[in-house]
Amino acid sequence: MSLAASAIGSPPQDAGMRALFDRQRQAFNRQGAPSYEQRLAALDRLKKAIGAFRDDITKAVSEDFGNRSWHETMVAEVMTSLDTVKHARKHLKRWMKPQRRPVDRTKFALAKARVHHQPLGVVGIIAPWNYPIYLAISPLVAAIAAGNRVMLKPSELTPRSSALLARMMAETFDPAEVAVITGDAGVGDGFSRLPFDHLLFTGSTAIGRKVMLAAAANMTPVTLELGGKSPTVIADDYPLDKAVDSIMAGKLLNAGQTCIAPDYVFVPRRKRQLFVDLAAKSVAKMYPTLAANPDYTSIVADRHYERIQGLIADANQRGFQVVPLNPKSEALSNQRKIAPTLVLDPDDNAKIMQEEIFGPALPIKSYNDLNEVIDYVNSHDRPLALYMFSNDPQQIDRVLSRTTSGGVTVNDTLYHVAAEDLPFGGVGPSGTGAYHGWEGFRTFSHAKGTFYQSTWNAAAMLRPPYGAKIERLLKFMIGRA
C-alpha cells in the first residue's frame, strides 16, 4: 500500500489510512468550509496538473492496457477531465449561493428561509480501471467544488495510472486536502470501512454491494456508479446505416470496456442481416486492421480477456450464430485484443445475456414490435444507459416513458455522459445516486435548511398561556388550510 500525498510512511494498512483520514478530518474541523476563492484556486491547480501530465497520462494508461489508443485517452481521460473542471469553475459561485425558499406569510409574516449547501467533510472516492484518470478526477472535481477534503483509491488493475494519479495529486495538493491511496483489493476493503462523510464507488455491481455493506457500519451515505446491460433500440423508421455507425463507435470505444457501452441491440427482424453487413463495413472503416492498429485498444488484463472469450465461446457452443468482424482475419491473442464480434439472437440462457459484457462482443436481438422490446427491458434489471434510434417523437416517448434507465442518449450513444449539466447515475442494480455538474455539487454537500425569524414574531402568539385569543387564531388558520 502507498499513502501518496502524505508523509506517514508505511504503517499497517488500516492504521495508515485511518491516520490520514484523521488528519483530513482535523484539518476540516479546524479550518471549516473553504471560501469560493479557495475552491476556485484548488480547481485551478487541478486543471494545471491535468494539462502538465497529459503526455504521462496517455503513456501510463496505454502501458496498463497493453495498448490504449492515444486519441481515445486524450478525449476520454484528458479532455473530459478538463471539461469537468471548466464547468465547475464556471458555475461554482451560483452553486454556492444560498437558495431562497418561500415561507407561509400567514404563519411567519416577515421571516425568511434559505438552503445553505455546506461541505460534508471528508469524502472517499473509489475509482475503477476502465477510465482510470477521468473516473477519478470527475468526482474529485465535484467534491472539491463542494468544499470537501478527499481520499482517493484508484484501481490496482491499472497500477501505472494509479501511481501517476498519486504523483499528480502529491504535487498539486497538501495531503490534508487530497490524498491518493494505492494498493490491492484488501486495501480497497479497508478504505471502504473508513467513516467517510460520503463514499462514491464506481465499479461492478458485485463489488458495489460489498462497498455498500461496509459503509453501512458507519452510516456512511454512498453513491454507487455501477453498470449492467445497457440496451440499444433501433426503430424501423431510423436509417440503419447511421444507427450502425453510431452503435459500433460507441461499442468499440476502449474496446467496449465502458460502463455505458451498448450491451445488446434490438433490430427490426427483417433488417438483422443488413445490420450485420453494415456493422462489418463500419468496423472495416474505423479499424482496417486490428493487430498492429494503435487505435484499437487491448483488453486490460488476462482474466478479463479470458472472461470475454468465454462469453463468446459459450454462445457458440449453444448454437447461436457468432460473427467475428476482423477485416484482415488477423491473429490477436498475443496482444489481448478481441475482434469485434456479433452474436445473433442469443436467449437468456447464454452467459453473454446474463452479465455485463465489458468488451467488444455485441448481441443482436431481432424483434417484430416495440412492445416486445419494452417488455424485455422491463423484465430485467434497470440499466445504467439506454439508447433509442428513431426520428418519430411518439416512438421515442413510447420507449423512454415506459422504461427506466440511469440515462439516455437518443440517436447516438454515450454522449449523455459528456453533458455536464445532466445528472449521471444508475437506478437499482445499476447504481444509486448521481453526480456531474450541479448534481455532483449536491451529492457532496449537506443542504442545510435555515429559518430566519423576523423581529415581529407571530409565532409568539402560539405560546402558553392559551385562551380565547389563540382559539380564534387557530380557527382562522385551520379554516385556511
Residues in the chain: 481
Catalytic residue among 72, 77, 177, 259: 259
| Cβ(444)–Cβ(123) below 8 Å | yes
> Using CA of residue 329, residue 333, residue 339, residue 345, what is the dihedral sign?
positive
Spot the catalytic one: 72, 77, 177, 225: 225
Q: What are the distances in angstroms from CA 110 to CA 38, 261, 469?
A: 35, 53, 21
Active site residue 225: yes
Q: Which of 29, 9, 205, 222 is nearest to 123 (CA)?
A: 222
Q: Supply the residues annotated as catalytic.
A: 225, 259
